Structure 1
Amino acid sequence: MHHRFPDVRPRRLRRAGWAALTATAVAALALAFVPSPYVVEVPGPTYDTLGATDAGGPLISIEGAQTYPTEGELRLLTLAWLGNPQRPLTWIDVARAYLDPADGIIPMDAAFPPQQTIEESNEAGRIEMQNSQQAAVAAALLHEGHEIDSDVRVAGVIPGSPAVDVLQEDDRILRVNGEPAYDVGSIRASIAAVDGPTTFDIERDGEPLTVEVTPIVEGEQRLVGIYPSNEFTFPFEVDIELPNVGGPSAGMMFALGIVDELTPGAMTAGTVWAGTGTITALGDVGPIGGIVQKLHGASDAGATHFLAPVENCAEVTGHVPEGLTVFAVDTLDEAITAVETVAMNADTSALPTCGAGGGDS
């Protein structure tokens, strides 16, 4: 007679399986509530510099000079941040963002420096946007052959920074490390060019003064801790209306829109462009953050062509959405050349691009 003994292993395995599932569920539940030290960058709204704002008025208004009709679009791009120190994201939120190619994950401290309040960060963004607009107007008008006068001042000093008790609000900056302070871009270039203390020749209350600040190094940047502001005197009025958007990255697209309005003929010939990049008054285009998110924002807005700063090309390669052609530019002149070459249906093979991927050529 054969006796069949009960096999206890399946029951034990079932118990172990339920225990594992329970532990997983508890861990997932915990992650749903545990705050993470990250914020998520997502594509924000886009704005046509040749078009109107959300309020219905023109984004760029020019008075006192001849303007001309435009076609197509020259879209600037923005970023939105999900999460902040007061309302941090959970790890589940971060995990979702990791799976979306249009989202970027950055450390909370990089987005919101601990020594800065959210209000101070917003104010810094507002000043950067104001500087960007002024530099864009200057670059566009210089490109069109107009003469302008420039004035650069300290708009604020960051608490705890090297500039505290050395530079003051409303100081007029004349030279930095011996180089003329033509605009905010030239100041940053002069600071970056010298490995050591930075010398400022300033004017305070009408008196000349020379002071020295030793910058701190954060990443690849040398920072003295001031908010410089551009103050230019233009031959006619150019107003840029874009509320609730901060930062310097729209500068190049502002300048392109102004040039198009001041130049006979439609620069784009109907093409929908998007782009990003800081700009100096002398027309130099600089790198920006969140380029991948901006590529997706451009594609979502219907753009077929994109202008990217040369220094962002390494981040662009391999991340270009299908149907978008990316041109790499280093100056306002190069950006204008790219737009006009496409408008004329001319050969674009000589124009620099940001590598392969997606619709890039």
Structure 2
Amino acid sequence: MPRRTATMLASTLMLIALLCAGVLIPVPYAVMSPGPTVNTLGEHDGEPVLQIAGHKTYGTSGHLNMTTVRVTSADYRMNLVEAVYGWLAHDNKVVPHDTLYPDGKTEEQSTQENAEEFSQSQESAKVAALKELGVPVKSWVIVSTVLKDSPAEGRLHAGDVIKAVDGAAVKQPADVAKLVTKHKPGESVTFTIVPAKEQAAAEKANRTPTKTQDVTITTKASTDSGAKRAIVGISAGTDHTFPFSIDIKLADVGGPSAGLMFALGIYDKLTPGSLTGGKFVAGTGTIDDAGTVGPIGGIELKTVGARSKGAQYFLTPAENCASAAKETPGGLTLVKVKTINDALAALKDIRSGDTADLPKCTAKG
């Protein structure tokens, strides 16, 4: 066999071997890409995203789009060829698998966590919008989750209202951990609660619950990577009673990042006129009950997804501004917001066409 032919054959076989290895060898990475964007003022799968009953609503126009990111599943094992393609693709982002699924988190666990965060973001969006409108909302601290095989299992239940811990009144979720961790592991802590069933019955009858009970639980030591502390194995959250019905109908979406856009959509439907003036506005950001907007992940992918659907303006959490400004899609204006009030002020300028003084994102923030 001629030397040149032998060399070409060897090179071809080597290339084939490398390609096979690239396809067969798994790498510890995952891919993020732009996901669907949904107008909170419109419909999704044939029904309105925001459904309000028991209060006057008004017509809207334009777009207030929430944005999403697609991610590969927890059990998907990417090969080297796919990872290289992802790195080269402009609209994809390859990240370490543990970034999306830390501590070996399963697909089921991740889905459940995202669902809980999405549900909480909806509640906070409703509260923030109604507070901005001056509509009173009743709130209280509840048991949000109870960990399996924890001291609290069977003693406390999701939905129980936490009135006090060791006799000290509980005003917000953070108070619970603060009061429990005053103890040493192995000591007892007493919760004063309104059982979930009693709370539900009282709400249904439109009365204030009066039945409380004390539950004493022996704490144990925490097992996470932080400093050892006393725990009972619950997470605390906030529940609310709204003066009228607000339902958010959007399936197959998780996480807390749509909070701001839900809040703005609710506000728009409950006020005369159009917040957007017919413009296409998209955005992202968590929101808390006080209306504070927080940062999210995948901002660069969300701006790409929004612009591809026609967005002209993108409401951006202040803490995400620097990152988003590095790769702003052409034709999209990034507007910096820290609160729902900032977003409403920006929308006022957008619908009037007076955008010279909009607080725009820059590479410095």
Tell whether the structures are fold-level matches, with TM greater than 0.5.
yes
Where does residue 4 of structure 1 map in the other structure?
Answer: none
Following superposition, the deviation at residue 166 of structure 1 comes to 5.5
Opposite residue 84 of structure 1, the aligned amino acid is A
Give yes or no for contact 2:152–2:233 (8 Å, CA) kept in 1: no
Q: Alignment length, in residue pairs?
A: 331
CA gap of 1:232–1:353, structure 2 versus 1, over 3 A, is: same
CA gap of 1:264–1:59, structure 2 versus 1, over 3 A, is: same
CA gap of 1:111–1:52, structure 2 versus 1, over 3 A, is: same
Give yes or no for contact 2:317–2:337 (8 Å, CA) kept in 1: yes
Following superposition, the deviation at residue 256 of structure 1 comes to 0.2
Following superposition, the deviation at residue 83 of structure 1 comes to 4.2
Q: Provide the secondary structure at the position in 2 that maps to 1:268.
A: coil
Q: TM-score, normalised by structure 2?
A: 0.79
CA RMSD of aligned residues (A): 3.4
Give yes or no for contact 1:342–1:348 (8 Å, CA) kept in 2: no
Distance 1:233 1:69 in 2: 25
Please say if 1:280 is aligned against 2:288. Answer: yes
Distance 1:256 1:120 in 2: 30
List, as ranges, runs of 4+ consecutive aligned residues in structure 1 with deviation greater than 6 Å.
198-201, 208-213
Where does residue 239 of structure 1 map in the other structure?
Answer: 247
Please say if 1:127 is aligned against 2:113. Answer: no
Give yes or no for contact 1:252–1:276 (8 Å, CA) kept in 2: yes
Q: Provide the secondary structure at the position in 2 that maps to 1:245.
A: coil
- Find the partner of 1:266 among 271, 274, 282: 274
| Counterparts of residues 246-265 of structure 1 (less than 5 Å) | 246-265=254-273
Where does residue 25 of structure 1 map in the other structure?
Answer: 16
Where does residue 145 of structure 2 map in the other structure?
Answer: 156
Where does residue 361 of structure 2 map in the other structure?
Answer: 354
Where does residue 79 of structure 1 map in the other structure?
Answer: 69
Distance 1:215 1:142 in 2: 39
Where does residue 186 of structure 2 map in the other structure?
Answer: none
CA gap of 1:30–1:338, structure 2 versus 1, over 3 A, is: same
1:207-265 deviation line (CA, Å, top 9, x unaligned)? 277979869569xxxx9985554421011111110011111110000000000111111
Opposite residue 44 of structure 1, the aligned amino acid is G
Q: TM-score, normalised by structure 1?
A: 0.80
Distance 2:356 2:170 in 1: 37
Give yes or no for contact 1:252–1:332 (8 Å, CA) kept in 2: yes
Following superposition, the deviation at residue 91 of structure 1 comes to 1.5
Q: Provide the secondary structure at the position in 1 that maps to 2:140.
A: strand
| Counterparts of residues 82-97 of structure 1 (less than 5 Å) | 82-85=72-75, 87-97=76-86
Give yes or no for contact 1:172–1:202 (8 Å, CA) kept in 2: no
Where does residue 34 of structure 1 map in the other structure?
Answer: 25
Following superposition, the deviation at residue 295 of structure 1 comes to 0.8
Give yes or no for contact 2:321–2:363 (8 Å, CA) kept in 1: no
CA gap of 1:241–1:345, structure 2 versus 1, over 3 A, is: same
Opposite residue 131 of structure 2, the aligned amino acid is L
Where does residue 298 of structure 2 map in the other structure?
Answer: 290
Answer with 26-35 or 285-294: which moved more.
Answer: 26-35
Give yes or no for contact 1:127–1:229 (8 Å, CA) kept in 2: no
CA gap of 1:155–1:238, structure 2 versus 1, over 3 A, is: same
Give yes or no for contact 1:198–1:213 (8 Å, CA) kept in 2: no
Identity value in percent: 35
Following superposition, the deviation at residue 169 of structure 1 comes to 3.8
Give yes or no for contact 2:74–2:106 (8 Å, CA) kept in 1: no
Q: Provide the secondary structure at the position in 2 that maps to 1:32.
A: helix
Following superposition, the deviation at residue 155 of structure 1 comes to 3.0
| Counterparts of residues 133-148 of structure 1 (less than 5 Å) | 133-148=122-137
Distance 1:201 1:106 in 2: 44
Q: Provide the secondary structure at the position in 1 that maps to 2:17.
A: helix
Distance 1:70 1:202 in 2: 46
Q: Provide the secondary structure at the position in 2 that maps to 1:105.
A: strand
Please say if 1:318 is aligned against 2:326. Answer: yes
Where does residue 34 of structure 2 map in the other structure?
Answer: 43
Following superposition, the deviation at residue 328 of structure 1 comes to 1.1
Opposite residue 109 of structure 1, the aligned amino acid is D
| Counterparts of residues 202-221 of structure 1 (less than 5 Å) | 202-204=191-193, 205=195, 206-207=213-214, 216=224
Following superposition, the deviation at residue 342 of structure 1 comes to 0.9
Where does residue 94 of structure 2 map in the other structure?
Answer: 105
1:16-47 deviation line (CA, Å, top 9, x unaligned)? 55434432331121111222211101111111
